[in-house]
Structures are given as structure tokens and as C-alpha cells.
Structure 1
Amino acid sequence: MNRFSAAMTAVAAAALLTACASNDSKTAAPAAAAKTEAKGPATPVGGHGHNAFIGGYDANRDGVVTREEYDTLRKQRFVAADTNKDGWLSEAEYVAEFEGRLKAQYAAAGKKPDQQYEGSIKQAHVRFHILDTNKDGKLSIEEEIDIANKTFKNADRNGDGVVNAADMAGQ
């Protein structure tokens, strides 16, 4: 895998990890409830804590997020967000990608955008500025990789290389 491919993989993971790093597990359904025959994350947008992390990154819905699943999904999101294909995300691109997933989640639930939706969009703008660590107005591959690594490590509390129910032990 070349540096660009590796970087793109990591970039895709970073932007959303920050949103999932909190310890509040009440904001998403338990992973067991999300396990179905369908493919792809059960909870595509938002939420904090362990269950939201699993819901947002468990592509095969087996209750376990491997680093490969996590990196693959983050890469897909980064590439999708980079609409002008310049290799980095502007704030507008970052927020538009997030908003697209949020709209889909609301539509799937039969909900219309509300105050919580608006708050999530505002938070996406704040998150962009946190992720843009060198403050150049661009979310680079390197910045994405950095936050992806930190977020996965924080979620994998027992250090076994996957995020699952065992990471909740002792809470």
C-alpha cells in the first residue's frame, strides 16, 4: 500500500472519531440490537460513546469494530467528502458529507430536521476546526490519520486491536 492509500485510509477514520470519543453510551442503540443481515453501519451519524462507535463503524454488524472496518469506512467518507478531488477537505466539504449522512439517518427514521439536527450541524463546524490542527482551513490526510489513530486507541480501551463489548468492562 502506498503512502497516499495509507493516508487516505487513515483520513477517513479521523473526522468522525472525535465525535465518538466520549464515554456516554446512552446515545446509540446497543450493538446487539443493531446486528442484522444488512451490511454497513447501523448508526451512520452522530452520537458519542462505545455503542455509538460500534453502531457507526461496525460494517458487518457483528458487534465488533476491527481496525480494518474502521479505516475502510473513514477512507470512504473522506473520499466521498473530497468532492473536488484535491486530496484535502474544506470546512464546506467536511460539513456537507456529515450533513448528507445525517439527512439520510433522519429520513430513515421518518424524522424531519429539528433543533438536535441543527445542533449537530453546528457541532460539525466546530469539529472541523478542532481536526484542522495546523489551522490552515484544510483537513489534510495527515490530520485525519492522526485523529483516527487517537480515536481508535481511545475506543479500544483494553488494547486488543478491536472495539467491542469487552472495552466496556469496568465502567
Structure 2
Amino acid sequence: MSGRAAPVGSQELAELYAAHRLALVRMALLLVDHRAEAEDVVHDAFASVLGRTLRDPDAVVGYLRTAVVNGCRSTLRRRRTARGYTPPVDTGPAPPDERAVLAEDHREVLAALDTLPARQREVLVLRYWSGLSEAEIAETLGIGRGTVKSTASRALDALEKVITITQETR
């Protein structure tokens, strides 16, 4: 996008959508663990950009990432409220496309990732899945760079413990 301060048009949005939708859906899927919800969150983020005049049009991808993370948080909050204390229902086997993506060695990491608190999971997903820098993560989550570093460190330690315990019980 150019450095002009004009509303985001449908053509620009279509180009952004083509370039960034898949990466944002993957990121959202790791945060909400349900494909339809992840896609809804991403579509809502793109819809929120249409017609908006952004102070820095070059930062629209960062805006979209932040909108997706916040949308995932809202989705999880609504889900938690709806469920109360009822445990989640097993939805059965994953579709073939998801099974291909989730090779056996990755399932263990994803299961361990699900045990982390939301903030730690968000930091790790943004860092290692989306490849964001500490500064970009801090901006996306609205926290300091030091908080990103310490949260990532604690999250990696927790993941290592969970994976070690899982491997020892085999």
C-alpha cells in the first residue's frame, strides 16, 4: 500500500486478502483451534479495514494481526461463557487436510501448546508460527518488549516440561 491517508478501497482489500488471508487463518487456528471460528475472525478483521482511513496505511497488516488476535480472544471468551464448566466435546477425527498438516510429531507440540495460558500461547504463535519480531509482537498484543521476552521464555520452559512428561509416559 502507498503512504497516502485515504480509505482502504475494495481493490486494495482484495489484494491484502489474497496476500495475507492464509497466514492469518493459520495463526487464528492455532489460537482458537476451530477452523470455522478462525476463518470468521479473519474475515471480520478484513471487513473492519474496508473504508477505514488508517493513520499509517503501511501498517495495515499489523492492524489486521492485532484485529485477529483480539477477535480470537473474544471468540474464546464467548466460548468459555457458553460452556461454563462443561468440558469440550470430542468432535471426532480431523478432516484429511488437517491430518496432513498435523503430522504425528507436530501433534505433541500442539497438544502441549494447548496447555499454556492464553498470553503465552499468543506470544509463541506470533513468534514461531507467524515469524514476528519481539517489537511486532509487543505492538500486536499491546505489551512491552521485555514482557514479550519473559513470556516467551516462561512459555518455552513450560512446553519443554509438558513434552518431557509426555515422552516419559510413553
TM-score of the two chains, using structure 1 as the length reference: 0.29
More helix per residue: 1 or 2? Answer: 2
Larger Rg: 2
> Whose RCO is larger (CA < 8 A, sep 6+)?
1
